[in-house]
Structure 1
Amino acid sequence: MTLIELAAEQKSAEVTDWAARLGWVAGLLLFVALVYWLMRQGWKWRGSLQSGLPDLPTAPGAPGAPRLTMSGRYHGSTTAGQWLDRIVAHGLGTRSRAELTLTDAGLDVVRPGARDFFVPAGQLRGARLDKGIAGKVLAEGGLLVVTWEHGGTLIDSGFRSDTAADHTAWVEALTSMNHTSTTEGTAR
């Protein structure tokens, strides 16, 4: 047998079984779609569980002169004291850019691409620096957490300024504002 005859007899092994490969790819895509759908259903379920939360207030027409302003990110809201119990009702679970304005009337949170909300001064309960809120963990003191009351529920909302040095001034202003409203409430 000559070399040419041997070469003609040999047949290349089949490299790819396309039917099996396409089956695996289709199965993987279906699995990813199922996981995504389950996550979305969980988000909707959480929102329906929190449906008792009333609509968020909007800013008054003339809120007054700004005491402080901040540009940064809104990282979400949780039940106060439970940093992993995310609140998703009324768009509070949607992360976004945020512009905060603190006036004597309260805290105005403007979120491009998400629902804005306003926290009246009488509902502000305090502020602190923390390291995390549901879905976001930063260095110690890297997150401004504002505690407020809405519909009988205490809520923690997490913000991060573009300039982290701003956080301390916000904590001081919100704490003094809460102290003033609490003192005025007991004096009546």
Structure 2
Amino acid sequence: MTAAAQRTADAAVRQLDMTGTYLNYLWVSGAVILIICLLLWWGWRGRKRRQGDLPAPGDVPAEVLEAEPAAAAEGMVIGTVSASDYLDRIAVHQLGLRTGGRLEVHEAGVAVFRAGSANFLIPADDLHHVRTDRGVVGKFVERDGAIIIGWSLGGYEVETAFRPRHAAEAQRLLDVLHPRTGENPTS
């Protein structure tokens, strides 16, 4: 065997040896990713168990579906969080999911329509406050880019965040929501 052929054979053997090393890296990386996914699932399941006493929000009644809203906007329903902590997402009843949607203000309350998730109504009696902010867990936007609606869900204080597509719609929602919560919009 010539020297050149020997070098080629040695290089091929080294390359085969590296294949085993790379496969080991692949298996370790796959195991780490699997463990992280399992921990995420376990944490989400634990969060749902801890929040299991939260009642499901009411469905949007037929009379609200047929009525003309006082104000409405298309945009993104960012999700619902605990009012005391904007990083504590509500996991039960799919309230914490971020979806596209529509917000409508009616006499009966605020109807939240979500793509791919159950729609719900925030009753007018349960509304506490409305404000603008940068967002909540899952989505942060420009200053005052998200409308935050504070309300009671079975005695538990929560906030639902919504980001309208157009600023004019956001202002109209705020103008209609502030009097319904008993707030002065200039404060």
* TM norm structure 1: 0.87
After TM superposition, list the pairs within 5 Å mapping 1:68-87 onto structure 2. Answer: 68-87=71-90
Q: What's the counterpart of residue 7 of structure 1?
A: 4
What amino acid does structure 2 have at the position aligned with 1:41?
W
What is the distance in 2 between the residues matched to 1:112 and 1:136? 17
What is the distance in 1 between the residues matched to 2:2 and 2:29? 44
Q: What's the counterpart of residue 36 of structure 2?
A: 35
The secondary structure found in structure 2 opposite 1:122 is helix
State the Cα RMSD in Å: 1.8
Q: What's the counterpart of residue 49 of structure 1?
A: 50
Task: Please say if residues 126 and 171 of structure 1, whose CA atoms lie closer than 8 Å, have aligned partners that are also in contact.
Answer: no
Unaligned runs of 5+ in 2: none
Task: Please say if residues 65 and 104 of structure 1, whose CA atoms lie closer than 8 Å, have aligned partners that are also in contact.
Answer: no
Runs (4+) off by over 2 Å? 4-13
Q: Give percent identity, aligned residues only.
A: 27
Q: What's the counterpart of residue 119 of structure 1?
A: 122
1:140 and 2:143 equivalent? yes
Q: What's the counterpart of residue 106 of structure 2?
A: 103
Q: By how many angstroms is 1:65 displaced?
A: 2.5
What is the distance in 2 between the residues matched to 1:58 and 1:7? 78
The secondary structure found in structure 2 opposite 1:104 is coil
Unaligned runs of 5+ in 1: 181-188
Larger radius of gyration: 1
Q: By how many angstroms is 1:8 displaced?
A: 4.1
Q: By how many angstroms is 1:87 displaced?
A: 1.1
What amino acid does structure 1 have at the position aligned with 2:15?
V
Q: Tell me the matched-pair count.
A: 177
Cα 1:6–1:91 shift into 2, 3 Å: closer
Q: By how many angstroms is 1:140 displaced?
A: 0.9
My pick for the range that moved more, 151-160 or 8-17, is: 8-17
